[in-house]
Each structure stands twice: as C-alpha cells, then as structure tokens.
Structure 1
Amino acid sequence: MKKVTLVLFVFVALLTGCNVEKTAIVCGREWNPNLEVVADTASEFEMKDQLIVQFRYGKNFDFAKLKTAFYEGTLANKGSEIWNHEVAVSEKMGVYTLQGKSRHGGLMTARELCRKKEPGPVVIEVSGDGKVLLSKQILLTKNR
C-alpha cells in the first residue's frame, strides 16, 4: 500500500510540475521586445492607445494556417467582419503576435489596428486551419 501511495504521489507531482499555459488571446498596450510578450493590460482601450494582440496556444501549433479576424459587435452578437489576417505557422511556434507600425510612428493604435472610426465593441477571433480556436471581446472607448 505504501508503494502505491508513493507511486501516486510521484505521478501527481510530475503532473503538477508540468506547467502548460492555457490557450489565450492577450490584448495589451505594453510590448516587451526582449521577451516577446504582451502584458495583458485590459479589455478596454481608448482609440489612441497602442494595441498589440497575442495568441498563446499553450503548446506548439498543430495546424498550418492561423487566421486572426476582427468583427463588429459582441461575442453574443457578432456582426460583420472588419478585416482579417492569415499567416502560415509551423509546429515550432506556440505564440503569434499581431502588431503593426503606425503611420505616425510607433505601434498602431487601437483605432488603426481594429480599423474602427467610432468607439464600440470589437470581437477578435483566432482560427487554425478553418477551425475557430478562441474569441475575445474588447471595447474601444473615446479618447479622454
């Protein structure tokens, strides 16, 4: 009985030690180029705020094409597609970051990246080989 308990304890310790990050869409204003990580600052952005979108899969990608699409509306009431971006990915990747350079210098603002002229909710949807993997809703607000 002691051996079974010891084996179970070792097995649970091994499983607990495996830290697999959950699949997530992270939206933020802060980009750390050294670590290539976006700080998840909020789901609400002023139109003038920088916006970086990062898809973290938690394991290596098991698909060849990754599509990020932006939609009008909310998760409950997704409207028309604003725009999308599709890229080829490999099984060596587990994270993809979408950011752009602004015409005015620096990183794109929320207004530029979401291609919105007016504040409101936006749905960001990530698909792998045509299968929706995750969606996230953000809110663009007026500049203060």
Structure 2
Amino acid sequence: MNKLAKIALLLVIAMGAFFSSCSTEDPHIVCGREWNPALQLVADTTSEFELINPMIVQFRYGTGFDFPTLKIAFYEGTEKSKGREIWNYETKVNQKVSVYTLQGHSKRGGLMTAAELTRHRAPGPIVIEATSGDRLLAVKEIMLVKNKP
C-alpha cells in the first residue's frame, strides 16, 4: 500500500471508532440507594429494596428528550400482571435534558425510603413506568422486601 492509502485507512478506522463511541443508550429506568451529586447519577443500582432502604429513581433517555411531558407512575404487581396505580408524577421536560431523577427527603432526614417513595408499605413487586402521552418509554420492575434484622 502506498502512503496515501495507509493514511486513508487509518482515517477511516479512527472515524469508525469515534462514531461507534457516540452511540446512545436505550431509554431505561435505574433505581438505586446512593446518589452521586458530582455526576448527577444514581449509583448502586438494584432491583430489590428493603422497605427502609433509601431509594432514588432515575429515567435515562440517552439523548435530549424529544417529548414535552414525562410521567413516572408506580403500580402494584409485575410487568406481566400490572395491578392498580399507586401514584404518578408528571412534569414538563425539554430537549436540553436527557436524564430525570425522582427523589425526595424523608421526614426523618436523608433520602426517602423505598416505602415512602413508592408509597407502598407492604413487601411485594412494584412496576415503575415512564411514559409520555400514550408512548411507553421504559419499564422497571422492583421488589420491596421486609426489613432484615
């Protein structure tokens, strides 16, 4: 190969690596016990929470929101057999945002517990849905368990 062909091949490989690193993640819901304020991300993701564990819910879209409103709803049951709606929160969003975090402060101090945030006091499965209008964006199923001694 001549020098020009080698440079062109190297340039193509570099551009391929650059564009593959720019891929976006699929919309998803992350639940965790720890908040990293520097990165504005939920750490220690899990799907099982003791009722007294701190809990933060974060919806990650990957790119700027391309919809005007975001609704996060909590339901009893599982993804396949969703029960009654426990509560929901709807907010306006814009294209400058790609992550939305739902957290609160407990009456006892610190972050809200799983029981407080889900507004469900008994152990069992909970479904969290993120929607915009009639469009389902992401679903996450978590399990609330009794407090371990």
Please state how far the C-alpha of 1:16 moved relative to its aligned partner: 1.6
Any idea what SS the aligned residue of 2:39 has? Answer: coil
Please state how far the C-alpha of 1:8 moved relative to its aligned partner: 5.3
Gaps in structure 2 of 5+ consecutive residues = none
Any idea what SS the aligned residue of 1:29 has? Answer: strand
Please state how far the C-alpha of 1:115 moved relative to its aligned partner: 0.6
Runs of 4+ in 1 over 4 A off after TM superposition: none
Work out which of the residue numbers 107, 110, 135 in structure 1 matches 2:139. Answer: 135
Q: How many matched pairs? A: 143
Gaps in structure 1 of 5+ consecutive residues = none
TM-score for the superposition, normalised by structure 1? 0.91
Where in structure 2 are the equivalents of 1:1-144 lying within 5 Å?
Answer: 6=9, 9-144=13-148
CA distance in 2 between partners of 1:17 and 1:102 (Å): 39
Any idea what SS the aligned residue of 1:113 has? Answer: helix
Contact 2:28/2:137, CA 8 A, preserved across alignment = no
TM-score for the superposition, normalised by structure 2? 0.88
49-58 vs 17-26, which deviates more?
17-26
AA in 2 matched with 1:113: L
Any idea what SS the aligned residue of 2:117 has? Answer: helix
Please state how far the C-alpha of 1:24 moved relative to its aligned partner: 1.7
Larger radius of gyration: 2
Alpha-carbon RMSD: 1.8
CA distance in 2 between partners of 1:112 and 1:35 (Å): 25
